[in-house]
Amino acid sequence: MRKDRSASSPIRAIVTSATLVTVVALFIGSLSLVIVGSTRYGGLNNLLVLVRARVSSGHRPHPAFVPTPIARDDIEAVALPANTSTPTSISSPTITPSSEGETMEAENAQDATPTTTPTSTLTATPTPSSRPTPQPTAPSVELTGFKHMWQTWNNCGPATLAMYLSYFGLDLDQTDIEPEVRPNPEDKHAGAEEMAAFARERGFETLLRVNGDAHRLRLLLSNDIPVMVATWVVEEEGDGLGHYRLLTGYDHATREWIVYDSYISTGVDPDAPYRGIRLTYEEMDQGWMVYNRLYLIIYPPEKETVVRSILGSDYDEEVMWRRALQASQETAKERPEDPFAWFNLGTSLVAAKEFERAARAYDQARTIGLPWRMLWYQFGPFEAYYHAGRQEELISLARATLDVTQHIEEVHYWLGMGLLETGDVEGARKALRRALKQRPDYAEAAEALAAIKE
């Protein structure tokens, strides 16, 4: 008996049409995602880098923390001095306040809750001042004249630097800066010193300092000088990352910073002119402390006298590190369970070339628990272990870091240096070449590789 197929034909036609509609919808949706993603991340190539990184991370589970040190019986806890008070020979910046600023000076010195200081906003302009001494801190400041931009993938450093330089009239995009400070598009880290060098090459003065404080930041902003800070951002529990931000103002009455942020958009009205996001003093300091309160100042030469006066003894880098060591020792004593306190102590000891003590401080930080991305941005532990003669520790830590991501040239460099000390010349050569491939102008890696050939 022949089956009558005429009844099923309309159904088959409907199914075919529905399938076609679904395919078209998926195609349009995918195309829209590509267009939006390419726009958000600075082109199709950057979007592909992002997708590749996300796929890679999905196949390579990351640990929760930086690995703990290799167990050794001969490693002692770092000793802290009994008295870490600041010597009287090191002076703090002296500012002669106006009558309006006297209350602010007293408050800022101890970062106390403000009294009924007037809350009118001081709007500063990027017009350089020729005053030989700085203005006292104002009740509030909101600098204007910046060009805001959203960063492309892993590009907060170049994006923030472009925003910073726009205040001084330079019309640069992050794509103009990225090839110099972050030539490897998959690099996880843009060094603050590389960004400072970029600004110096364009005629600006720069100072890169640690152990900053809120009072000094407010003094700089009150004198028309924005400040770039390195902070730690945690969007999801256990998934923090390093992030540069540009401080453009503050409101001391509400205890909030005004921040130009290339990544975080919480509270930003997309239909209004960008005026930054607000961070409480406490929130900013919590993330800033992870980086030993590192800050970068960029300013025109005519502001040199003002900047010197604001920084006081910290204008001298050696004195600044001595004060940082004293502060980190004090913090480690007060907060012995804080891994960042011990990490900052290690970094300050590296600057003092006390490498064995630095290595033990880093041991303590790692034992308590450091976030798994910590060594993507700060490399003091590698230097400390190398100079302390703990090459096995250095090599193990470097390889554990590179197991998560291969795109950090500094870690390849220190791996090469550790391998060289153990006699693995070929392994050292390979690691140093990898560092130079990712950053062709990496002077230390080039010098080490040349020494091997000789």
Q: Are 216 and 311 in contact (CB under 8 A)?
A: yes
Give the separation between CA 438 and CA 69, rounded to whole angstroms: 28
Predicted confidence (pLDDT) at residue 273 exceeds the cutoff of 80 = yes
Maximum distance among all alpha carbons in the chain? Answer: 110
The pLDDT-based confidence of 149 (bands split at 50, 70, 90) is very high
The pLDDT-based confidence of 352 (bands split at 50, 70, 90) is very high
Tell me, what's the pLDDT at 237? 87
The answer, as to whether pTM is greater than 0.85, is no
Give counts: helices (H), strands (E), the chain. Answer: 17, 7
Q: Are 448 and 417 in contact (CB under 8 A)?
A: yes
- Tell me the three state secondary structure of residue 428: helix
Give the separation between CA 226 and CA 445, rounded to whole angstroms: 33
Give the separation between CA 113 and CA 94, rounded to whole angstroms: 22
The pLDDT-based confidence of 421 (bands split at 50, 70, 90) is very high
124, 119, 125, 109: which is closest to 139 by C-alpha?
119
Tell me, what's the pLDDT at 453? 79
In the numeric block, which tokens belong to residue 87? 């010597």
Q: Which tens digits make up the pLDDT trace of 43-94?
A: 554 444 344 334 334 445 788 899 999 977 666 778 788 754 444 333 344 4
Helical pair 425-438 and 443-453, crossing angle rounded to 10 deg: 150
Return mean pLDDT, the chain: 84
Give the separation between CA 326 and CA 333, rounded to whole angstroms: 11
Could you tell me where the DSSP H helices lie in 167-209? 174-181, 192-200
**Which of the residue ranges 65-69, 95-99, 372-376 would you say has the lowest mean pLDDT?**
95-99
Q: Could you tell me which residues come within 8 angstroms of residue 91 by beta carbon, excluding any fewer than 6 positions away?
A: 312, 313
First to last CA, the chain: 92
294, 316, 298, 69: which is closest to 164 by C-alpha?
298
Pairing of strands 277-280, 256-260: antiparallel
